[in-house]
A and B are shown apart, each in its own frame.
Chain A
Amino acid sequence: MRLNCLHGFFIFQETKVGQVSDFMSLTGLSLVPWRDAYTFEALVDAPNFSLAGKTMLEHPATKTFAGEPWEVFEANEVVYNFDTGLVVPIASITQRVVIQLAGNRFISNGLILPGSLTDDGDRVKDYSAWFSRDTLRWLYSGVSYV
């Protein structure tokens, strides 16, 4: 299964039937259909606009903006925290992450929480990854930072 995390907005795409149910069984996290892919249940109604001061997925928006949900997230400097199930300011994430180069990919311990900080002080913004059934690990093909 492929995953794109775009400024804390998650898009999962099955490459084989059954991967979504496998993911939900392994992680306990719930995915629902979204466009032609899947996303976390809490993100299925992510808006394509925000008005400063009005709540957006129960978080007060700081910017008036229209665009794709991940663009709205970026404009408002928020990410989805799948540990808490809440949309939160990216700056509020204090979790540390270690991302290591392993051949032609990156590996990390589990699914990276967007907004996590590396030892170099970089804050993770976007990444693309796929889940390996063989190793039961997320393998990352690209990571970008704020």
Chain B
Amino acid sequence: MSKILNATCSAAGVVMAEGQTVPAAVVLSEGKKASNGVLLLEGDKANYLTSNAADIKALIESLVTIINQIATIATGLDAVTVSPGGQTAAITMLQTMKTQLEATKEQLK
């Protein structure tokens, strides 16, 4: 018989369920940032799984921003015969977003 409980995990990897810390819990996700999730109990095994919704939402938002930035650069290149160059700021923004994506990877819950 297994049991599923709502749970949280701190950035330090401390799992709590029903107001009680659960030292026995194994964090199956990355666990590098505080999160909400579930504690799965079966026999003497306790596993914590985060909800990945927040991670995925942040990732999608970053990707949309990057695509917009690429579109801006492409639009500028399209007009190169009229007004060459001028995409430095857009390319810098693209690099910033790449850095942000890499940071997201390091903060997965």
Contacts and interface: CB of A to CB of B under 8 A. Distances in A.
B46 A64 contact: yes
Contact count band on A:
10 to 19
B24 A52 contact: yes
Contacts of B5: 49
Interface stretch (A2-10, A65-73, A84-92): A65-73
Given A64-B46, A66-B41, A67-B43, A52 B23 contact: yes
Interface of B: 1-3, 5, 17-25, 41-44, 46
Interface in A64-104: 64-68, 71, 75
Interface of A: 48-49, 51-54, 63-68, 71, 75
A53 B3 CA distance: 17
Contacts of B46: 64
A54 B1 CA distance: 20
Contact of A66 (B1, B20, B25): B1
Contacts of B25: 64
B2 A66 contact: yes
A66 B40 CA distance: 9
A51 B2 contact: no
27 contacts: A48-B1, A48-B3, A49-B5, A49-B41, A51-B22, A52-B23, A52-B24, A53-B20, A53-B21, A54-B20, A64-B22, A64-B24, A64-B25, A64-B41, A64-B44, A64-B46, A65-B41, A65-B43, A65-B44, A66-B3, A66-B41, A66-B42, A66-B43, A67-B43, A68-B1, A71-B1, A71-B43
B44 to A, nearest CB: 5
Given A52-B23, A53-B20, 19 more contacts: A49-B5, A49-B41, A51-B17, A51-B18, A51-B20, A52-B24, A54-B18, A54-B20, A63-B44, A64-B25, A65-B43, A66-B1, A66-B3, A66-B41, A66-B43, A67-B1, A68-B1, A71-B43, A75-B44
